[in-house]
Structure 1
């Protein structure tokens, strides 16, 4: 839970369990700026994040992370069938889709970097990394 005002979206992941039981799971908490996100949007983001973590945990070790989708089955179908249909309700799909034409994780991240390069992408204590800085670091690792 955020200690102060949330600029955009805070994601908190903490381990569940204890010294005697070991790690038994993860708790995910999203705290969003109410001017930017409604409860329904936060729930959708939480489902996507949980889906991504689940798929990452079961993925083949050699599979690039950008190829792992984070949309659930019904949302994936909606993106592929409705948003991509002639006269669809969106300018384009948002999110990744396994085996489909929707952008993957890396493309979605690149689009966010273009939209908001100076916005905070990560925070850890007093350290803040912008989307542009995170993209630069990722490029150097690649």
Structure 2
């Protein structure tokens, strides 16, 4: 707020005091410059129906921490989003709360989850191909197993590189399901490959 604080009444100087800035709906930060050489005065005012005194005190500490970061020697090299306003106590409280509310889940692999779904709903649609063909969980599992037997017969195994020439289709999903149990990372051949032949020097088997 900018006012003329140098007030005189018939030669008598007056000292202005800000009693209130009016009703505050939520939280208000107001800066005053009284031009008396004392610098800025900053008031932090909160609605008492929304903030307890300890909450306002915590906001006050965070605001002071923000001002200190702005006046730090390397302030111009730091992004505002990187400023950490949480205290050590608040950080510890948040970590404890997150651990207490952590959702417990059963650690399962993707093939295990698919196998469980096959057992529950074998006839449900698992993949809808781009040509409109619906593939059930049972059919997807059978296709994945057929591909696994074919690749093993062709020499696929541990420490072997296998390139799969497949379009974006249900066949590619079956290939991904086959690769997961073996911790494999299937690579899609884009050019120069056809079933049975791979021109990439890194491929040892291509189907």
Give the structure with higher Rg (CA): 2
| Range into which the TM-score falls when normalised by the shorter chain | 0.3 to 0.5
Compute the TM-score of the two structures, normalised by the length of structure 2.
0.34
Higher relative contact order (CA 8 A, sep 6+): 1
TM-score if structure 1 supplies the norm length? 0.47
